[in-house]
Chains A and B, each alone.
Chain A
């Protein structure tokens, strides 16, 4: 999805406050524009946040980085890599996306399973709410329980509560090496069982996925000597021979494709289901599909399809949630893209929205 023509492009927090405190209509919040295809289409003038960019503070020894949210993710990743660091939650690559967009979408990759999500690494913010008020939440230190945890509330809120103006994230040391073991698995049941065994072992598996075309993939990261000894230990404990082993470069490329779900790129519709890992095989069986990929040891199901069929997908879930990540515009208009909360939670969510944006000016309807 390309970027729309902007009605406003604030260059500072005070300009953003002004845009939102003046009476007026609703805005669609946009920076990189890469995630406009997710959520209900927002019928509003574009508020372009891409000018709020740049690194504010980065001291590698702090394992913390503060930046303005419109900073391209690529720029941040390059900077971190130059210091031997990275974002622990492994955001899937998407050309043009911004740090703020990744956080507002709570977008995490394969390492989310063991290292935590984007929201887990999001520790502080400045933002402007729908009334044009600037506020802070969290802080720049990793350990902080002072007041409500606002970064958690804004992570995954898809720009419906506030517009970020500054964010602080934790960063982690980059692993010296990594390797991925590939195993043949006869279907999702066997795949998830293998993942559960591996993830329950003491060999520190950092990611576990299943692509029906490639088999089960288990990744180990760390010091080269440690990776080697853990591979030996893991293979011994699983009593299941590996078909192949991918070393650092090929392993990185493999997980890049898992994160970007390239195997399902040709399907017009893409669903993302978060479930208890052991429920994945039954869900896939009930949906009777071969167009899928599992990540997070089975807990993340990607489904490719020709049609949306939200009712059928959600009926297959027993707990967890389903999000429509790709579909034609008309389909998104008439589908609940995000998992609809039950009545009590829907009431709380509506009141939470009103607490930040009482006039419904920020991305109206996107999560409805």
Chain B
């Protein structure tokens, strides 16, 4: 939410001037009810979960079929109109924020699961199906879809492909890219193509791997084939408290070094623990400086053995408390605090910024120490909640937008944290995407040639740079005063009720 610093792509006034004509043309391609041009109705599409940015698009279309998507994209190609694809609008990086002269293609009507194939262990779903709906559709046969972003009740599988979404279980089970087998998509030229299928690996260049995580820059995904896994026999979580953050960090490193890959390995620091405990009463120890949640899954005997080993490692690092869940209810309660950590922090501060840097695990303790120092220097509190197992940090910067200057300080603090992650050998974003939010920091991580190589890939698919303009790449956007409106996050947080990891 680096709101004051980032601008949206500059719209083309000539395209906006042709709005009536464009709407009429779209209504010839789709049912009139599936084309939205009314200013009041367009408000529903003006932002995503990065609510500092708001921009009403020219129009929204809600196609029902891949052929309709292709027809809209061919029309947009002919007319030179820009396109922003949208799933559920849960992006935390501004990936679905529109541009004033763009048509938003909303994929909400693509909500059907098309095939469930247990023998080949895959599900074929339209791209607007929610992440959780896939797991639910196969739950009765004890299967599930592994990547579980915290917004999984709302976020769509097409959006997951665009962002290469993670979740708490990706340490063991991988990101979206490791679990997608195939796609149907429409290219910016309006061609319908299929990548992958129910088989493994690409026969030629891996365009499926390129599409995954491409943040809406290369086309619109209409159908996704994902691999499903049998549910582990058992899963148990262990809560381990530490007197120091360094002790917890070292414990994480030693669990991994012992050859144990937990299904989830999460850490919270003192401020986050206290906020979460007050909010959901998960039973967290309040006297500790850091808390680990270690989830182990698999056959019951193996899980028991691994819990014994984790206990021993934790004891070596001076754990002050250690408790393993004894049943499913307790396991879910242990997780409840973690899953509610973002909203819980929202209760102790009028506003917060969520960062998403990723660092080598061995730098965990040092980076957390530096974040604490930055917190002092910027005069703002920070709560740390993160995926410790894979080094993906989510520092939450607490501020009050009503206090003059605090937003700017929070943004500067956030920017310093991400630079710190890059300096530590890490990257700007582990799972939330670059989007608008981190676009202008891309030059900190990448050199000019690195970015040019990526621009050339963008132009392979979208030579006119019409798809999701102003996202990911700094050089593809032009600054203007458009779209700089900042909205007090505490009053207008989209998806405020969603759990966030």
Contact = CB atoms under 8 A, between A and B. Distances in A.
B460 A351 contact: yes
Interface string A335-368: 0001111101100110111111000000000010
A191 interface: no
A146 B200 contact: no
Contacts of B174: 116, 120
Contact of B459 (A113, A152, A355): A355
Interface size class of B (residues with CB under 8 A): 35 or more
B429 A299 contact: no
A63 interface: yes
B113 interface: no
Given A200-B121, A278-B120, 14 more contacts: A64-B360, A119-B209, A120-B174, A135-B450, A141-B359, A146-B427, A147-B450, A149-B213, A200-B143, A226-B302, A226-B305, A276-B117, A299-B199, A319-B199
B257 to A, nearest CB: 5
B362 A59 contact: yes
A299 B200 contact: yes
Contacts of A334: none
A63 B256 contact: yes
A94 interface: no
A165 to B, nearest CB: 13
B392 interface: yes
Nearest to A113: B200
Contacts of B301: 225-226, 229
Contact of B260 (A108, A173, A338, A339): A173
Interface stretch (A180-188, A247-255, A320-328): A320-328
B78 interface: no
A174 B197 CA distance: 31
Interface stretch (A5-13, A201-209, A211-219, A303-311): A201-209
Nearest to B230: A202
A191 B302 CA distance: 29
A172 to B, nearest CB: 7
23 contacts: A106-B201, A120-B178, A144-B358, A145-B213, A146-B428, A146-B434, A146-B438, A147-B434, A150-B454, A152-B206, A153-B205, A157-B205, A196-B120, A204-B299, A226-B298, A229-B301, A278-B119, A320-B198, A320-B199, A341-B203, A352-B205, A356-B453, A367-B204
A278 B433 CA distance: 36
A345 B302 contact: no
Interface in A120-163: 120, 129, 133-137, 139-150, 152-153, 155-157, 161
A266 interface: no
A229 B205 contact: no
B211 to A, nearest CB: 9
Interface string A52-79: 0000000111111000000000000000
A142 B388 CA distance: 12
Contact of B193 (A116, A226, A345, A367): A345
Contacts of A275: 199
Contacts of B199: 274-276, 299, 319-321
B259 A173 contact: yes
Contacts of A96: none
A199 B121 contact: yes
Contact of B460 (A64, A120, A204, A352): A352
B205 A139 contact: no
A112 B200 contact: yes
A319 B120 contact: no
A168 B386 CA distance: 23
Nearest to A142: B390
A274 B200 contact: yes
Which of A106, A120, A157 counts the most chain B CB atoms within 10 A?
A120
A133 B453 contact: yes
Interface of A: 59-64, 84-85, 106, 108, 112-113, 116-117, 119-120, 129, 133-137, 139-150, 152-153, 155-157, 161, 172-174, 176, 192-193, 196, 199-204, 222-223, 225-226, 229-230, 233, 274-278, 296, 299-300, 319-323, 338-342, 344-345, 348-349, 351-356, 367
Contacts of A355: 453, 456-457, 459-460
Interface stretch (B21-29, B104-112, B127-135, B441-449): B441-449
Given A203-B299, A230-B299, A323-B203, A148 B454 contact: yes
A346 B191 CA distance: 12
A172 B206 contact: no
Contacts of B430: 141, 143-145
B175 A296 contact: no
Interface stretch (B11-19, B40-48, B163-171, B477-485): B163-171
Given A139-B427, A152-B206, A355-B456, A344 B191 contact: yes
A275 B119 CA distance: 13
A106 B208 CA distance: 14
B212 interface: yes
Nearest to B456: A355
B229 to A, nearest CB: 9
Contacts of B445: 146
